[in-house]
Amino acid sequence: MVRIGAHVDQDDPLGQAAERGAEVVQFFLGDPQGWKGPVLPATADAIRASDVDVYIHAPYVINVATANNRIRIPSRKLLAAHLEAAAALGAKGLVVHGGHVGKDDDPQVGFDNWRKVFERMECPIPVLIENTAGGGNAVARKLDRIARLWDALDGFDVGFCLDTCHAHAGGEDLADVVDRVKAITGRIDLIHCNDSRDAFGSGADRHANLGKGTIDPELIVAVCRAAGAPIVVETPGPGQAADIAFLRERLG
């Protein structure tokens, strides 16, 4: 059976998992918009001993693709620190956004910079690169860019996180997105199961609870079923328990 859970606050992940009926939790280890290093939660021992599967989301500020040294170098260091901390928690993987290059930069620069990350960094747990919703210079919004990224990462064991809201908002048809992603990456390690508040192709990263946005909820279920990967809802908190129950009822 597919394990289903939610993105929760880092202060009490296990308590929030219990409230939501979650078998999986994802959370940050600090300010998602800041550059400070990760901090393990006070309940780290309990988290390691729990049967709840854990994923850590890296800060949004990380952009290892950029040609800007003042962002890329700190990004690599912060990514490495979060990878080490996530491994110390017994996490199944570390989710990180693909990032972007400057508007006048060759996208290949971003793909090559990602390769340098894996050439120089030990990965005690999988790094799961997540598709993003917007930005014409993003390296992981459109599947053609993701294909080029995976070509650059050939030879490295890199995981993929598919976000349904991001794919929809990014202009990728969800009807066959799983097959198209797997043809590129070979696997999907985690599903971020989110409805989208905005229209197809909008480029807007705004999540909604399942059935409350612009994506047919049965299409979201079909994506989750086809992927066969653990599921994390990153939807507004008050509706997460209902979202998990909805998925569990339909996925068995």
Looking up tokens 């080029």 gives: 148
Tell me how far apart the alpha carbons of residues 218 and 209 are, in angstroms, rounded to a whole number: 13
For residue 128, the number of C-alpha atoms closer than 13 Å in the C-beta half-sphere is: 25
pLDDT at position 214 is 98
pTM of the model: 0.97
Quick one: pLDDT at residue 136? 86
Predicted confidence at residue 135, as pLDDT, reads 87
Q: For the chain of 252 residues, list the mean pLDDT of each consecutive stretch of 10.
A: 96 97 98 97 96 98 98 98 98 98 95 97 96 94 97 97 98 98 98 97 96 98 98 97 98 89
Identify whether the C-beta of residue 223 lies closer than 8 Å to the C-beta of residue 190: no
First vs last C-alpha separation in the chain? 7
Locate 66 and state its tokens.
């950029």
Give the number of other CB atoms < 10 A from CB of residue 200. 15
C-beta of residue 188 within 8 angstroms of C-beta of residue 141 = no
